[in-house]
Amino acid sequence: MIPTSAIHAAPADWAPTLKERARAGPTEPDRAALLEAFRAHSEFYARRIGGADWSGVPPLEKAEVANVPVDPAIDVQATRTSGTTGYQVTICNSTSEREFRRALLYRPQLFYALPDEVTQVVFVDGEGCASPSDPPKWFQYGGRVYQTWFCGVAADPGAIWQLLITLRPQLVRGIASGIVRFIESLAAPLKDIGVQIVGPGGEYLLPEWRDLITDAFRARVLDRYGSTETGALAWQCPHCDRYHANVDEILLEADPGGLLATPLFVSSQPLLRYRLGDVVAWDTRAADCVVQLPTLTITRARRDDWITDGQGRRLSPLGFQFEELPGLKAWRLHQQADGGLQLFFEAEAADSLREALAAALTAAVPGRPVELIEGLWKLERGGKFKRVSSDLSPATNPPR
């Protein structure tokens, strides 16, 4: 839909185009032309925009995403996400858009000092862990070949350790709290494995988490910032250490009510001024850097806390799967300062789900009193992946 996006180039040209644009710096998009493209997309956007200029178009809230038409002529794949508000929404992307999202995700690695053949281990949601003997996923990008093995953040730390010491990857990426959980659960050294760069992402990287990862792997930590809805938003640069924003592919507005994002490469289910729950500020002084994309500072971002059960065990927020219960629309889990649990939820038939929800929560977090509360709006705290928050321990609340 938006002709300025690099997605319109041949896939083989995505990496060199994104690298060249990063070096050259972005040009300001024609916002009036963008509005015309959105008006032409659907009656939904034609009504929403009307005759307004850019700033007069209301931000798109998560609860409204279901109203955005998906182009029926495009073969799309759907991904469920919940984000800060706790409302579960479906994000649709075509095959080409999904491939381009990966190209954008790999953009920072165009500036990494890595070999032509890279071995990487990626921490993902789940409990499974690849075996070193498993065939890797292969990906060619930017003149490099990546061989990738995946491990779940809730997997046995011993299995992850065996994967790492056997493969000796140059690059470790994935969910920040999952990498932290692994480090703190493992009684074995990691510094001699040979990891050169750790690229955490998916949630706000606490300073103490950064220090822990750096000390454990004796590697450079280069953070990534993005969302399921929009793709990669910004990335920490190996040259200047700042977070360069992918503004040539995602129009970003540092709104006081939360960052607004308009992905320019999405045609199947385009999002106009979509509100994320993070607060960012543009850096006023330009970075002295080979990368000329503007930089931002994340001042408040979504993250999840860990929950502690009655025996003192820390439970990853990624382990809760209440959304698998039929009829449950959305949920949020909060642990109070006294250890008690509050599960806020919305459902098609709330009364019929109470017993099943209570049983699932009690099984997941034994030894804690449970309270079920209908209505997400009754909890103002926000999480990210699985909408989990805690007041039981300090705000940093790292896993142990």
Model confidence at 393, in pLDDT bands (50, 70, 90)? low
Average pLDDT rounded to a whole number, residues 323-327: 80
pLDDT at res. 321: 74
CATH number of the 307-390 domain: 3.30.300
Model confidence at 221, in pLDDT bands (50, 70, 90)? very high
Model confidence at 381, in pLDDT bands (50, 70, 90)? low
Across the chain, what does the average pLDDT equal?
A: 87
Q: pLDDT at residue 269 above 60?
A: yes
Model confidence at 185, in pLDDT bands (50, 70, 90)? confident
Model confidence at 1, in pLDDT bands (50, 70, 90)? low
pLDDT at res. 72: 76
Average pLDDT rounded to a whole number, residues 79-106: 77
Domain spans, the chain: 6-104+227-300, 113-221, 307-390
pLDDT at res. 376: 74
Model confidence at 317, in pLDDT bands (50, 70, 90)? confident
Average pLDDT rounded to a whole number, residues 245-271: 93
pLDDT at res. 245: 96
Other residues' Cβ atoms within 10 Å of the Cβ of residue 43: 9
Mean pLDDT is lowest, of 72-81, 106-115, 141-150, 235-244, for 72-81
CATH number of the 6-104+227-300 domain: 3.40.50.12780
Model confidence at 29, in pLDDT bands (50, 70, 90)? confident
pLDDT at res. 86: 47
Distances (CA, A) of 65 to 42, 92, 210: 14, 10, 34
Q: pLDDT at residue 84 above 80?
A: no
Mean pLDDT is lowest, of 148-152, 208-212, 225-229, 322-326, for 322-326
pLDDT at res. 88: 60
Q: pLDDT at residue 83 above 70?
A: no
Average pLDDT rounded to a whole number, residues 318-330: 78
pLDDT at res. 204: 79
Q: pLDDT at residue 267 above 60?
A: yes
